[in-house]
């Protein structure tokens, strides 16, 4: 499909400082071929594609790159609000893991459908999933049109399941076999996985040329556990095992010291900050401003929808900024544009796709969202970027394009029946609890 988004405000995310201009975006197939305020260039594009061109009137809308949710567990939508206000280890051991033990492949698939619907409606065009039975999630990704990084995960108790899961997704998606799906390997955490199997994860990463996605330094309990077992911080422990590379996503990284940060910077690790989940479980506040100052790439994720409890990246960005301001006592840290880069440019960098997504440039993949600016909470517009971070909501997203395909239009999903998915999910969770 060839698409022209005309007469819109464009926030390309290509500059060090915010730049927003009025112009048009031309898409040929899956690629952006025009980002311009030149009427002649726009007319030339229109003329070249007069047959079959889909034109979107962008007046009153802002075009920007789709958001990248760099860490979540999409299928945990089936556990949204199932177990709240509980400490992390009790939450996992007494509630979440027992529930998950009852889930089958169709449950994981349904939970992923619910999660993808929520993310697309909120302008997320790429997500990094970490869960069991990732082949089922891959089916949802293929059918819905979203972009994803699938990360088959394991704890020590579920390692055999992981090997089957990883074999299934590597056979289907490894080596760029699908244009919108890539892979990572995801040991759950240092405290829930043996040294032997962490080393096995590193071997798989090297063999397939894929990254490692791991929860790390999330809580003080984890810090104490790893220190007692190995006499090291979790970061030092993973470094000694060779798991910290430019392809590693260090998820959470709440409790890290200066030596840890230097290791992460030197290894080129990307951190994924999950502010609302960390707040809700009372894990602490990751030193994001310090990380960015040190030259560490930091992306943003929502974490799972039972520890957050949603997949709303707009809420997540606002929380990220506010937390750093209050924790440092400095209202100038993590300004709006930097936060927006964490959810676009830095997210793309974290998953090795900075040359493909995360900004609007000619030649990039066409992952574009349009926000309706004609909302009371977005008016007036002294600073459109500040409005996005401090005022915008998922419901402001009108149109979502992924890989050149329109997936959301007028705030409605085009490939998914949202009401039916919600109805089936409600019935399914009642059934799971009876198993």
We report the CATH number of the domain holding residue 326 as 3.20.20.140
3-state SS assignment for residue 406: strand
Domain co-membership, 294 together with 168: yes
Domain co-membership, 137 together with 225: yes
370 belongs to a structural domain: yes
Strands (E), 73-209: 124-131, 147-154, 181-187
Domain co-membership, 158 together with 87: yes
420 belongs to a structural domain: no
* Helix ranges, 209-257 (H): 220-230, 234-240
Q: How many domains are contained in the chain?
A: 2
Closest CA to 350 of 184, 201, 138: 184
The sheet carrying 147-154 orders its strands as 67-72, 124-131, 147-154, 181-187, 211-216, 248-252, 270-273, 297-300
3-state SS assignment for residue 10: strand
383 belongs to a structural domain: yes
What is the chain's pLDDT, residue by residue, as a tens digit (435 residues)? Answer: 899 999 999 999 999 999 999 999 999 999 999 999 999 999 999 999 988 899 999 999 999 999 999 999 999 999 999 989 987 778 888 998 899 999 999 999 999 999 999 999 999 999 999 999 999 999 999 999 999 999 999 999 999 999 999 999 999 999 999 999 999 999 999 999 999 999 999 999 999 999 999 999 999 999 999 999 999 999 999 999 999 999 999 999 999 999 999 999 999 999 999 999 999 989 999 999 999 999 999 999 999 998 899 999 999 999 999 999 999 999 999 999 999 999 999 999 999 999 999 999 999 999 999 999 999 999 999 999 999 999 999 999 999 999 999 999 999 999 999 999 999 999 999 999 888
Domain co-membership, 101 together with 56: no
32 belongs to a structural domain: yes
3-state SS assignment for residue 124: strand
Domain co-membership, 50 together with 71: no
Domain co-membership, 315 together with 381: no
Domain co-membership, 210 together with 135: yes
**Final residue before a domain boundary, out of 309, 326, 350:** 350
- Provide the whole-model pTM: 0.98
Domain co-membership, 286 together with 163: yes
In this structure, the strands spanning 405-409 and 397-402 are: antiparallel
Structural domain for 251, as ranges? 67-350
Q: Which tokens is 394 given?
A: 């998922």
425 belongs to a structural domain: no
Domain co-membership, 134 together with 218: yes
CA dihedral over 175, 179, 181, 182, signed as positive or negative: positive
Domain co-membership, 158 together with 298: yes
Rounded to whole angstroms, the Cα distance separating 343 from 361 reads 17
- Provide the 10 A C-beta neighbour count for residue 97: 14
We report the CATH number of the domain holding residue 50 as 2.30.40.10
3-state SS assignment for residue 2: strand
Domain co-membership, 239 together with 334: yes
Identify the residue whose tokens are 């244009």: 179
Domain co-membership, 154 together with 260: yes
């Amino acid at each position: 499909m060839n698409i022209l988004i005309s007469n819109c405000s464009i926030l390309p995310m290509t500059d060090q400082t915010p730049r927003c201009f009025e112009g048009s975006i031309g898409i040929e197939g899956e690629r952006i071929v025009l980002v311009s305020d030149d009427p002649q260039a726009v007319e030339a594009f229109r003329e070249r594609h007069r047959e079959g061109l889909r034109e979107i009137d962008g007046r009153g809308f802002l075009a920007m790159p789709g958001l990248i949710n760099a860490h979540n567990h999409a299928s945990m939508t089936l556990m949204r609000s199932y177990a709240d206000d509980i400490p992390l280890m009790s939450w996992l051991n007494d509630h979440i893991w027992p529930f998950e033990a009852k889930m089958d492949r169709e449950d994981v698939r349904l939970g992923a459908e619910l999660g993808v619907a929520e993310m697309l409606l909120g302008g997320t065009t790429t997500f990094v999933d970490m869960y069991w039975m990732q082949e089922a999630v891959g089916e949802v990704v293929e059918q819905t049109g979203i972009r994803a990084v699938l990360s088959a995960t394991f704890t020590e108790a579920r390692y055999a399941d992981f090997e089957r899961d990883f074999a299934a997704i590597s056979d289907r998606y490894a080596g760029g076999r699908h244009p919108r799906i890539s892979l990572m390997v995801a040991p759950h955490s240092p405290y829930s996985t043996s040294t032997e199997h962490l080393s096995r994860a590193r071997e798989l990463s090297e063999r397939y040329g894929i990254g490692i996605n791991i929860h790390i330094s999330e809580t003080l309990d984890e810090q104490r556990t790893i220190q007692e077992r190995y006499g090291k911080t979790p970061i030092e422990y993973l470094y000694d095992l060779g798991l910290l590379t430019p392809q590693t996503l260090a998820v959470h990284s709440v409790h890290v010291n200066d030596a840890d940060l230097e290791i992460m910077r030197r290894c080129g690790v990307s951190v994924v900050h999950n502010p609302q989940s960390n707040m809700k479980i009372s894990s602490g506040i990751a030193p994001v401003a310090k990380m960015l100052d040190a030259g560490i790439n930091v992306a943003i994720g929502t974490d799972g929808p039972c520890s957050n409890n949603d997949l709303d990246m707009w809420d997540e960005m606002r929380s990220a900024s506010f937390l750093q301001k209050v924790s440092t006592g400095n209202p100038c840290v993590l300004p709006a544009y930097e936060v927006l880069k964490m959810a676009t440019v830095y997210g793309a960098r974290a998953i090795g796709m900075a040359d493909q997504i995360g900004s609007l440039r000619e030649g990039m993949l066409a992952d574009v969202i349009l926000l309706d600016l004609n909302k009371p909470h977005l008016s007036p517009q002294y600073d459109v970027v500040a409005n996005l971070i401090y005022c915008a909501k998922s419901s402001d997203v009108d149109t979502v394009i992924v890989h050149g395909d329109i997936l959301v239009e007028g705030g409605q999903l085009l490939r998914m029946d949202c009401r039916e998915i919600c109805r089936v999910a409600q019935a399914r969770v009642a059934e799971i609890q009876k198993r």
